[in-house]
Amino acid sequence: MKSYRYTALLILFLSIMASALVVAADNSAVTVENAYARAVPPTARNSGAYMLIRNDSDQTRKAVSAKSNVSQVTELHNHINDNGVMRMRHVDAIEIPAHGSVELKPGGYHVMLINLNQPLKPGDPVHIDLTLDDGTVLPIDLEARRIGMGMGMMKGKCGGSMRCKCGSGMGGKCGSGMNGKCGTAK
Ligand SMILES: [Cu+2]
């Protein structure tokens, strides 16, 4: 008798869990993975956050705004190549294709963290709320990480738009590339 009641309770419990899971699946058609922020030197006022945003729904979604607990202003940005100089631009939205994904990464789309409340050290927790065009807010918890500046966009571009300081931080690889430009950045 006891085991019958136990089984009935278990079935009840499982069916509640199953319906909860279906609801969760509906609400999480857009998901975020591999999120991290850039750890920056104490003098830096800004940083960026990167992530993979996946859209398992049938409709194109857009990320339209972001908020964070570590910065006073948080914007969606992209990098463009302006005559060989990488510049950041504020964008109104980042499109996430249906059944596809978009990667926010150094040198491309990113969540710009402007006017940091305090320096972001490696391991510091960061919270970002990412709002989609349908009103969904995705809460994202991530960590600051040290990211080498020698990668991607920063290759050999010491003194470019990113306020890279030669040899100082971030891997110290800056300026090892092109035409002895090291030392021109202030
Ligand atoms: Cu930016």
The predicted pLDDT at position 28 comes to 61
pTM of the complete model: 0.67
Per-residue pLDDT tens over the stretch 3-19: 556 656 545 454 555 54
Per-residue pLDDT tens over the stretch 154-184: 433 343 334 343 333 333 334 333 333 333 3
Mean pLDDT taken over the chain: 77
Give 111 Cα–ligand 1 centroid separation in angstroms: 7
Per-residue pLDDT tens over the stretch 87-129: 999 999 999 999 999 999 999 999 999 999 999 999 999 999 9
- The three-state secondary structure class of 117 is coil
> Which residues of the chain does CATH 2.60.40.1890 include?
27-147
E strands, 11-109, in order: 30-38, 47-55, 61-68, 71-82, 85-90, 94-96, 100-104
Give 75 Cα–ligand 1 centroid separation in angstroms: 8
Give 95 Cα–ligand 1 centroid separation in angstroms: 17
Q: State the average pLDDT over residues 140-167.
A: 57
Per-residue pLDDT tens over the stretch 11-42: 545 455 554 444 444 456 999 999 999 999 99
Domain 27-147 CATH superfamily: PCu(A)C copper chaperone (2.60.40.1890)
Lowest mean pLDDT among 58-67, 107-116, 122-131, 142-151: 142-151
Give 126 Cα–ligand 1 centroid separation in angstroms: 17
What is the torsional sign of CA 138, 144, 146, 150? positive
Give 89 Cα–ligand 1 centroid separation in angstroms: 7
